[in-house]
Structure 1
Amino acid sequence: MERKRRHLAFVCMMTIFLDCRLSAAVHVDPCMEYEEIPADIRRSPNQTERRYDESICDVLVREKWYRFVGEAGGDLTNTSVDVYQCSNSYPLWMVGDIPDVDEGIVYRNVCLTSIFAKCHRTFRIQVKNCCSYRVYRLQSPGLCPSAYCLSPSNVTSEDCMDPTTAPTPTPTVETSSDSAVTTVTVPARVDPCVNYEEIPADIRRSPNQTERRYDESMCDVLVREKWYRFVGEAGGDLTNTSVDVYQCSNLYPLWMVGDIPDVDEGIVYRNVCLTSIFAKCHRTLRIQVKNCCSYRVYRLQSPGLCPSAYCLSPSNVTSKDCTDPATTPTLTTTTESPTQRTTTTTTLSPTLTPTVATSRTPAVTTVTVPEVIMHDMESLSDTLRFAVVLGAVMISLVVVIGSIVLIRYHYCSKSRKYQVQK
């Protein structure tokens, strides 16, 4: 009996531990970090579709934050729908109203309509009102054809401000008249044009290359969210025209929506479409792009499935009236005043915006800018995430083994009692 009690205590303790959640040190606002899903008009409840091959399916949706953009509307439908509405056999609709802005992130249930009931089964999602739009942390329905229904927004955005229009933080300036010291602190930023990883641009990434064999297909599922530059014979830029399945040597090719930005635009956002057998833009990923004059860099994301890879094309951008970051000049300025003469030498490198300190004695300011300052926090984050997942798997195995031992012990005890009685 004592051994059984100890086993039960161990199982309960492990269950409580697994129920804990890790909180990140830096909170990322989902209103700023999300992926866009094209709100095709076929997602509207007044659109019906009974043919399987023409239906919409969200089975490839991963559990992350999304925003719907398009003519069908930007919000999930929150009234019940019937089968075949929203252009699929098992439409999904949200139970409950859209939250207010000051409610923050809230939970809502999503119902799956079937031939048996309008809410055959449910699963939980998260919603946040970002003033003029909403973001949703969705889940895959787990079957096809099943997709989320969309409706035009009926929420008024008054007395609130979009996160994208929030004021930009300004540098901190501290001045001390006693010691005649002025300190200007600007947050450091590493320019992706000089801090990136190269991906070989294999010719098989070209849209005119096809591959139907799974084991010979290309796959970018191991790509991490960081800055990359493509170098090779396929080209240095993402293909920005639609492609079909099996092109670019994979089943679900990825292509960019929109043109390559100009150099003076800086870092911009673009959507990347995943082509499937259902649509040429079945779902989208949100990436960042920067034009570095003679080449481009991309902050990519993993497609989350295989075989799926980015398509590449030769660059069609002319680099005129611009300078590569590697050839940035040096600037020397001299400032004279009645009390002191100050000489400042600064290398105009985009790698780092330094902290500048000016002292009266000996009246010389020296700014030292390292060539490369790189703290690979993304690598640390990935390592931590892997360690957490591995720990959770190990603990789950311990719990399962403990439960099996406990059940076996209980069964053996009953067997022995039965034999004694017999």
Structure 2
Amino acid sequence: MPEWCMSYMSCGGYSALYLSGSHPRLEDGVVTREIYGSRYDQCSYYRSEPIQVKACPGDYYVYKFTRPPLSIPAPVYCAVLLTTPSVDPCYNYTSLDEPWRATDYSVYNNNYMCDYNVEWNGWYRMFYNGQNAQMTVSCVNQGMCGTYNPLSLNDTHPQLEDGVVTRQVCASDWYSCCAYRSHPIRVKACPGNYYVYEFVKPIVCGAYCVVPEASNQSIPSVSTTTETIPPIESITPPITTTAPSVDPCYNYNVLDDLWRSTNNQHSSQIMCDTTVSWNGWYRLFIQGQSVHMPDTCVDMLSCGTHAPLWLNGGHPTVEDGVVTRDVCGHWSNNCCYFQSYCADARNINITSTTVMPETSTTTETTAETTLPAPEIFYPFGSAAGDTINAAADDGSSSVIQLLSPFLFFGRTYQQIYVNNNGHLTFNQPSSSYVPYSFPARGSQDIIAGLWTNLDNSVRGVVSYHQYTSGNVLTRATRDINTHFPNLTFTASWVFVATWNKVSYFNLTNTETSFQVVLISGGNFSFLLMNYGDIAVTGHPVQAGYDTVNSTHYFVIPESINGSFISNLRNSSNVNVLGRWVFRVDGEPRNSILNIAYSNISSDPCYNYESLDRPWRANNESGVHICDEGFSWNGWYRLFYYGMNIQMPETCVSSYTCNTHISLWLNGSHPQIEDGVVTRQACGNYYSGGCCYYKTNPIRVKACPGNYYVYELVKPQIGCSGYCTDVSTISRPISTISPKIITGASNTSNYDPCNNYNILDNYRRSTLNYGYWFGYANGLDDTRVEWDGWYRLFVNGASAQMPEWCFYYMSCGGFSALYLGGSHPRLEDGVVTREIYGSRYHQCSYYRSEPIQVKACPGNYYVYKFTRPPLSIPAPVYCAVLLTTPSVDPCYNYTSLDEPWRATDHSNILKCDYNVEWNGWYRMFYNGQNTQMTESCVNHGMCGTHYPLSLNGPHPQLEDGVVTRQVCFSVGGCCAYRSHPIRVKACPGNYYVYEFVKP
């Protein structure tokens, strides 16, 4: 057990229990020690029952544990490893020389560094700019050491004779030097006047601090002999393709988890592989069927987790043997937001960290970094004969006369300027270091490799060179023909501008490398942008191009955010990481390469799906539906209550069209003779401009009959949605039979209890709640052609429609539909019931079409579903399990005695959605029988944010098992409704409850 305070919520519980006093020695025999538990930053807030402890031969301890008091919330006895290093860490460590860890360093790259992102492994020796250093044992102000919560030792360093000791680690804030206590670490004093530390992930966003002047300090020693030991570094070995000693094809672990499937989206249970102890090789299965990792981007919130991991590279062939592949995690609309970098034999000194999906920043801790120029870069520098720009902040080259005219979207140029702040201009130099947003609709053509506030007067080189013969032209010819396979091209002129390891202004420790390459030959002109290491920055940034009046422009996705800019080296539009390529001679308009469109196998004018969604109109608002939550596939024709409508071609205000970011078509609709064209979809956001957001382009086609079809794709930005323009409504001239989802057909000549369709979809479950920013799970019952009677199942188990209100975004859609009345009895025959849908906390905001219902022998129901009104956003008929307990829960329950659940208990923020509820529960209060409240409870009571209460009386014995709605209070007694639970009254005057995750 630890002898020091542990932060609350450590050790797998809520209140972490630790030993108040040192462990006994062998000669002490059995001793008694107090036990304390922490609450927030109060270490000894709880006092548990004392326990007995004894030291045993063999260097271990035994404890006589007792049951902690019920008044302590979820207490857990903590454990810390008791091990001795097998190799002396004084001679087997990794050097850690990162000056930003100094106690006088307040910021790093405009980002706080977080050591919980680092995969710590073993022992470390600290340096400061090559000089011996050590961790601080003094209080450090919040915001120093390049982090938010500086970490310091809460005790003195050991002496040589102490050997390996354990020290508490403190994290400071504005109010306290030890506001939080992180995990303890082990420390050892070494001959040669230095220390080594066994670092572990801290519990907060903090960093281990180093004292810059520590090299002047000495380690007290009782030895009279001085031994000089040179620093020995433990270098991470390179990852090679050497064959394993045992063929992993025949020696692997089976990994068969259904929740890992890519179609498991927006799961209510979030899984995290950071908690798994991985060991060796694994083969993937899903329900016994062999599968493999995806090697293309996977939607966020898929695979049962937040940031799904996918293989950034193709799988090998048998003859390839063992290969190394990068792994990417999709987050913040960036397919490779989280990355696991692999090392190879050329870069053996690179040590990197894998960022956990729970964090919001990407940081790396590097012992030594020696990166060559990326292979995608064209030759540059003095060796290539480059002309070097003067080292001047906000400077530029002199005018460069081009050896061959360059055609840029209809304008021919014979001169160019290379500007130090990362962009090229044609008519005049530019010292501008703050980029404007594209499209600017301005008066100049500009190419922005990475337009930001760069400063080559401090670090880095800006250079350029142009070629009319030689190997560079051969390479350019090969590249263009590879990227444009339908062209036959020969390069006759190449211009290469390079920014190599240039720092940002006032951020002298940063390095950024990229290239802009202009290529021409015949009537063709092309633009290549190559990206190497790009440091994150807080400066405004922009990468892409813009033309006069913005007739042509493009912004590389995510390049307007300095926090994500480092991902440019892992992005591409030509499947070459770090490279973006564009044809810029003028055709095709807004040309973007290799967007992954499927070929049109038949004319989309006659092969589309109808999308009749009046709530998408630009005069609608009030809810926030996100198109990222829908599965887009193929071509769509837009309708408004059966009439033609089209996407708007002008700016649409934010929060219209019932979404956050309203998407409109940035360009006119095509004519019939234009065929299929590509158009940019733009989104307005506050004052950021009408095209502040640019999502994936879409294809559009004009069709005979005065309508358009759109190949809609999943947007890549925030909560956005495609809009329709009410000013374009027209009556259809002709009717084309669209695709529609059909139900199985049956005849109505028989009893529907014996002749029904099975509707089994786990997404319809009331437990399926699409909580994330309006991201529903893709169901929409207006798309279904209902036919006859249906019986509901959830994963094979019999189900029924709920009779109570459900929160919007439940049941796999946006508007959850429920039965407005009780189910019929057998003798009632076929009855008609109203159907209602919720909007936010308004239960009966929507009224759908009534349906018929019948009770059937065998304790189930059948429903004659109809198509809900188009005015209801993504409505879905809900299902709730209809089961009878196999064992009487009055005699088969789990006792729940947690006094903090009392209606008069406050100030503890417990959350029952973190509990894995299983079966039935009986409630106690300090050993006394109790029950759930049926009354309104104030916000913040019951030890939680939102107290849960029954919205109805408890049942009587004769009622058996009943279902009750659960309310939680915020701004009202039943402002929101959670999942219903089942309740039963039992002999002996008590109740049992089948709790589920709220």
TM over 0.5: no
Which TM-score bucket, shorter chain as reference? 0.3 to 0.5
User: If the length of structure 1 is used for normalisation, what is the TM-score?
Assistant: 0.42
Q: Which structure: greater helix fraction? A: 1
The structure that is strand-richer by fraction is 2
Q: Give me the TM-score of the superposition, normalised by structure 2.
A: 0.20
